[in-house]
Amino acid sequence: MKPLEIRALSRNFGGVRAIADVSLALDSGERRAIIGTNGAGKTTLFNVVNGQIPPSSGEIFLFGENVTRMPLHRRATLGLARTFQITSLFRNLAVIDNMIIAVQALTTAHFVFWRRLAHYREVLGRAEALLEKWRLTEFRHEIVRNLSYGTQRQLEIVMALAGNPKLLLLDEPMAGLSAAETHLATDIILNLDRGITVLLIEHDLAAAFKIADRITAMDQGRIVAEGTPEEIRQEASLQKIYARGGVRHE
Amino acid sequence: MADNRWGLWSAIAFVLIAAAIGGMIPPYDTGLLTQMLIYGIFAMSLDVLHGYTGMPSLGHAAYFGLAAYVAAICSLKLGWGFEAAGAAGIAASALAAALFHLLALRTAHSYYLMITLAFSQVLWSLAVSWTDVTGGDNGLPGVLRPQIGSWSFGSTIAYFYFALAVFVVSAAMLYVFVTSPFGYALRGIRDNEMRMRALGYHVWAYKYLASIVSAAFAGVAGELYMYLNNFVSPSALSVTVSAQVLMMILVGAAGTLFGPVLGAGVFVILQYVLSTYTDRWLFVIGVIYVLLALYAPQGALIYLRDRLKARQRRSAG
Amino acid sequence: MNFWIINTLNGLSLAMILFLLAAGLTLIFGLMHIINMAHGSFYLLGGYIAISAIRLTGDFGTGALLAVLAIAVTGVIVQRLFLARLYKQEMPQALLTLGLLFIVADVAFFTWGGDPLLVPEPRLLQGGVRFLGVIYPLYRLFLIGWGLATAFFLWAFLERTKIGAIVRAGMDDEEMVRGLGINMPLVFTAIFALGAALAAIGGVLGGPLLGMFPGADFEVALLAFVVVTVGGLGSIRGAFLGSLLVGLVDNFGNVWFPQLSLFTIFVPMVIVLALRPTGLMGRV
């Protein structure tokens, strides 16, 4: 059973085809990177898979279940989590509160309004443990909007991990990070449990080649190449795309 | 996650002091104190929507007035006892919110503001024009204060203690509500709805329940107010009341329970003091609104806290 | 038959007054995302100032022009002095205009008193016209014509002029327009003043029909809010359609179910929003 399978997926905006006839399948535990220039349709693909926008045509399967018309909050209950390219946190809440909200989402506690959260030791404990594990404990009482950008990006990933996802979509986790921070973020992703399947969009090709088992290249809404990092390096057609698109090649 | 023992003790102290003061001061002032408690419940109920969930409502008087009308009609026209009439009023407000939000939750931010305003105006115009039932502009006078068994809360002082008891119960219930897992989810929705969905929250259900809870407590306040005055009129449903309760939150601090209660207290005092010196009450409200919008849209207390922090930072650095 | 003609025309004339308010409301929202709670105040002040100015000058045209100019200037001041400082802060902007609504209501009450005042009809437009077997007030026909003309000119302004193109582009993507080196703050001020002036025209021209009194600001503004909610925020065409719908429904509602007044408007609003949450012409 594939964690994610996409069949002939398309999405139009007005007359523009943001993604066209994209098919893709991930193996369990696979790390897959999607590369491509700006406007290649990578983020749109994420938004459709995640359920934020409906596809114009095609089908999506999560762990064998057809989720094409499933609302996004229910996709999360199947084990799908994602991060956002533009940091998407609870800016006016403390780091620990961000984690609590992320942790309790998929527990039985999440709709309880007749009992204080303080009674849910397991939720609090797991939130603290995650902060500890990803070295964010020192910031636990900081309000998120006051954190450095790098720390916010880190929290962005850790929050996606809070619900024990089986499939993780990472939308440009390194965007805007310094070299040292990129290194740290790469480490976080490399150290993820192998039980988690990871699909990531990455502009930083060096990082993408380091993390991914396989790479899918997109251009103008279509998949133009797919293979191991070695195979992709050899692919002549990609050189042209990158020459045209002018993407950073670090 | 602050497990706040200080908060609990100061709340208990607040209640005890209020209870003592209420028994010692002249009846008129006890009446003012009762008003503060009632508006306190009302402002807390709106803050569940406005401050915690980020749903800016300009029609909260709808639930305040509706419960008051329904309770008054049930006891005056149907001869129901206090318990039944009171429950009917609160149920009516909750039900109205449940029906109205089937529609209102299809709309986003600015639309929500306008549609809540429109909704409250519809109830207001019904109260004005459906004279057979509502008494029109004259309203419904002559509702007696509660009588539970052999306990009568008819006197000013007895009614004050009645309101205080309802206030304590309401505040405790709302406190559990906003500190529950559900309450945390509401704050998450306020800050970032999309992320909440991606995390697996069914955002609509949270907003829906929050709006019903908020309406029910607004109804509690509305009924208390109606019994205080033995009277309800269309003005209980007016936009001025909606605007005033919003102002109470902003005079305090949005996203807290303490702030709106403090704001309600300040509001009642301000209204009392100003009404003895001037009849330009609307003008004063307007100016306060302009100042709050420019300098303290999250609440005057939050503005003061930020100023204090900035000063500390300056003197430290 | 006469019943239908007269009430349809009555509904249309109300619709045109509403359109004058709703057009400004929707433009201001579409471009600046401001819910202008004080829009009714521009209407009320426009009407009151016209009454005083007409009394002073003895001429409807001069008085009306003075009133509209005064409100346009007021609009510039409000936008520059207050709203520009709250750029992109939706809730504070709504609160601020709510405050202005109260302030203006109070000032108007102390200046013009609590009794309803009518703006005098211009002498040229007094009397009735006979057609299709009914006699109908000339002034109301003029009002309908004025509303239609305003709708046409607004449409032409937005679709056919360079400034209109900038406004439309600004509604879609303000950053992009700023990037082109266009002075958006100036465009904001101009559109806000235009909206205020339109509301004032609504007050001046609606004044002979509806009168000016404490609470008129809110009463009319509320209908205009319903119009833009039904029509779709940010769309002139939506404002026009919404005005027709609300004007006609309100008029026939008042004739058939006088006890239910506002409630009859709420029903079509519920239906429209249930089917299209962003209104008839709203953008998604």
Quick: pLDDT tens for B278-292.
Answer: 888 889 999 999 999
Q: Does B122 touch chain C (CB under 8 A)?
A: yes
Kindly list the residues from chain B whose CB atom is less than 8 angstroms away from the CB atom of residue C102: 243, 282-283, 285-286, 289
- Specify if B102 maps to a domain: yes
Which H/E stretch holds residue C106? helix C90-112
Kindly list the residues from chain C whose CB atom is less than 8 angstroms away from the CB atom of residue B54: none
Q: A-B interface: how many C-beta pairs under 8 angstroms? A: 118
Q: How far is C226 from chain B (nearest CA, A)?
A: 7
Task: Kindly state the DSSP code that residue C122 receives in the 8-state scheme.
Answer: P
Q: How far is B199 from chain A (nearest CA, A)?
A: 6
pLDDT above 60 for A58: yes
Give me the residue from B107, B291, B294 closest to C277, CB to CB: B107
Q: What is the pLDDT of residue C2?
A: 86
DSSP C46-80: HHHHHHHHHHHHS-HHHHHHHHHHHHHHHHHHHHH
Whole-angstrom distance, CA of residue B89 vs CA of residue B224: 11
Give me the residue from B180, B188, B198 closest to A117, CB to CB: B180
Q: Does A100 touch chain B (CB under 8 A)?
A: yes
pLDDT above 90 for B39: yes
Token pair in block for residue B317: 């650095």
C-beta atoms of C229 and B114 within 8 A: yes
From C43, C52, C45, select the one nearest C206 (Cα to Cα). Answer: C43
- Number of neighbouring beta carbons within 10 Å of residue B229: 16
Quick: pLDDT tens for A208-217.
Answer: 888 999 999 9
- Specify if B297 maps to a domain: no
C-beta atoms of C86 and B286 within 8 A: no
Do residues A9 and A58 lie in contact, with contact meaning Cβ atoms separated by under 8 Å?
yes
pLDDT above 70 for A244: no
Q: What is the pLDDT of residue A241?
A: 64
Q: Does C84 touch chain B (CB under 8 A)?
A: no
Quick: pLDDT tens for C46-80.
Answer: 999 999 999 999 999 999 999 999 999 999 999 99
Give me the residue from C82, C226, C263 closest to B125, CB to CB: C263
Give me the residue from A105, A115, A162 closest to B180, CB to CB: A115
Q: Does C233 touch chain B (CB under 8 A)?
A: yes
DSSP B140-208: EE-PPPPEETTEE--SHHHHHHHHHHHHHHHHHHHHHHHHSHHHHHHHHHHH-HHHHHHHT--HHHHHH
Give me the residue from B176, B184, B196 closest to A100, CB to CB: B184
From B250, which residue of chain C is nearest by alpha-carbon distance?
A: C95
Kindly list the residues from chain B whose CB atom is less than 8 angstroms away from the CB atom of residue C28: none
A21-28: average pLDDT: 94
Q: What is the pLDDT of residue B317?
A: 59
Quick: pLDDT tens for B76-100.
Answer: 999 999 999 999 999 999 999 999 9
C-beta atoms of B289 and C96 within 8 A: yes
Give me the residue from A72, A81, A110 closest to B185, CB to CB: A110
Whole-angstrom distance, CA of residue C8 vs CA of residue C70: 33
Q: B2: pLDDT confidence band, cut at 50, 70 and 90? A: very low
Give me the residue from B191, B194, B196 closest to A91, CB to CB: B191
From B195, which residue of chain A is nearest by alpha-carbon distance?
A: A88
Whole-angstrom distance, CA of residue C206 vs CA of residue C17: 6
- Specify if B308 maps to a domain: no
Q: Does B305 touch chain A (CB under 8 A)?
A: no
Q: B160: pLDDT confidence band, cut at 50, 70 and 90? A: very high
Q: Does A163 touch chain B (CB under 8 A)?
A: yes
pLDDT above 90 for B23: no
Q: Is B314 helix (H, G, I), strand (E, B) or coil?
A: helix
Kindly list the residues from chain A whose CB atom is less than 8 angstroms away from the CB atom of residue B191: 89-93
Quick: pLDDT tens for C77-101.
Answer: 999 999 999 988 888 999 999 999 9
Whole-angstrom distance, CA of residue B239 vs CA of residue B243: 6
Tokens 């002139």 sit at which residue? C236
Q: Does B129 touch chain A (CB under 8 A)?
A: no
Whole-angstrom distance, CA of residue A182 vs CA of residue A207: 8
Domain ranges of chain C: 2-275
Beta bridge partners of A6: A24, A60
Quick: pLDDT tens for B47-77.
Answer: 999 999 999 899 999 999 999 999 999 999 9
Quick: pLDDT tens for A161-175.
Answer: 999 999 999 999 988
Q: How many domains does chain B have?
A: 1
pLDDT above 50 for A249: no
A178-190: average pLDDT: 88
Task: Kindly state the DSSP code that residue B49 receives in the 8-state scheme.
Answer: I
Quick: pLDDT tens for C146-164.
Answer: 999 999 999 999 999 998 9
**How many contiguous H segments (helices) and E segments (strands) does chain C have?**
11, 2
Q: Does C271 touch chain B (CB under 8 A)?
A: no
Token pair in block for residue B145: 């204060």
C-beta atoms of C96 and B294 within 8 A: yes
* Phi–psi pair at C119, nearest 5 degrees: -70, 130
Q: Which residue has the higher pLDDT, C238 or A244?
A: C238
Rg (CA), chain B: 20
Q: What is the pLDDT of residue A246?
A: 47
- Specify if B57 maps to a domain: yes
Return the C-alpha torsion angle B265, B269, B275, B278, nearest 10. Answer: -110
pLDDT above 50 for C131: yes
Q: How far is C59 from chain B (nearest CA, A)?
A: 32
Q: What angle do CA A88, A89, A91 make, to 5 degrees?
A: 120
Kindly list the residues from chain C whose CB atom is less than 8 angstroms away from the CB atom of residue B47: none
Whole-angstrom distance, CA of residue C226 vs CA of residue C270: 10
pLDDT above 60 for B3: no
Q: What is the pLDDT of residue A248?
A: 44
C277-281: average pLDDT: 82
ipTM: 0.89
Interface of C with B in 111-150 (CB under 8 A): none
Quick: pLDDT tens for C201-235.
Answer: 999 999 999 999 999 998 899 899 999 989 988 88
Token pair in block for residue B56: 């800016």
Quick: pLDDT tens for B195-235.
Answer: 999 999 999 999 999 999 999 999 999 999 999 999 999 99
Q: A188: pLDDT confidence band, cut at 50, 70 and 90? A: confident
Cα dihedral sign, A115-A121-A122-A124? positive
From B51, which residue of chain A is nearest by alpha-carbon distance?
A: A92
Q: B-C interface: how many C-beta pairs under 8 angstroms? A: 119
Q: Is B115 helix (H, G, I), strand (E, B) or coil?
A: helix
Do residues C218 and C5 lie in contact, with contact meaning Cβ atoms separated by under 8 Å?
no
Q: Which amino acid is at B43?
A: A
Q: Does C283 touch chain B (CB under 8 A)?
A: no
Most confident residue range from A204-213, B34-43, C113-122, C216-225:
B34-43
The number of angstroms, rounded, from the C-alpha of B53 to the middle of its chain's C-alpha atoms is 15
Q: Is A199 helix (H, G, I), strand (E, B) or coil?
A: strand
Q: Does C89 touch chain B (CB under 8 A)?
A: yes
Q: How far is B85 from chain C (nearest CA, A)?
A: 25
Q: Which of the other chains make 3 or more beta carbon contacts under 8 angstroms with chain C?
A: B
Q: Which amino acid is at B240?
A: T
Matching CATH number, C2-275, of 1.10.3210, 1.10.10, 1.10.3470, 2.115.10: 1.10.3470
| Residue C55: half-sphere exposure toward Cβ, Cα within 13 Å | 9
The model's pTM? 0.91
C-beta atoms of C263 and B292 within 8 A: no
Whole-angstrom distance, CA of residue C52 vs CA of residue C20: 21
C-beta atoms of A101 and B197 within 8 A: no
Q: A119: pLDDT confidence band, cut at 50, 70 and 90? A: very high
Where would I find the H helices in chain A?
A: 42-50, 72-77, 95-104, 121-133, 149-161, 179-190, 205-211, 229-234, 236-245
Give me the residue from B3, B199, B205 closest to A105, CB to CB: B199
Tokens 């038959």 sit at which residue? C1
Mutate to test the interface with A, among B4, B178, B180, B257 (most CBs of A within 10 A): B180
Q: What is the layout of strands, in order, in the sheet containing A222-227?
A: A80-82, A167-171, A197-201, A31-35, A214-219, A222-227
C-beta atoms of C93 and B294 within 8 A: no
C-beta atoms of B188 and A82 within 8 A: no
Give me the residue from B107, B114, B285 closest to C35, CB to CB: B114
Q: Does A152 touch chain B (CB under 8 A)?
A: no
Kindly list the residues from chain B whose CB atom is less than 8 angstroms away from the CB atom of residue A92: 190-191
From B111, which residue of chain C is nearest by alpha-carbon distance?
A: C229
Q: What angle do CA C40, C42, C47 make, to 5 degrees?
A: 100
Kindly list the residues from chain C whose CB atom is less than 8 angstroms away from the CB atom of residue B124: 262
- Specify if B301 maps to a domain: no
Domain containing residue B169: 2-238
Q: Does A108 touch chain B (CB under 8 A)?
A: no
Between chain C and chain A, are at least 3 CB pairs below 8 A? no
Q: What is the pLDDT of residue A250?
A: 35
Share of chain B above pLDDT 90, in %: 69
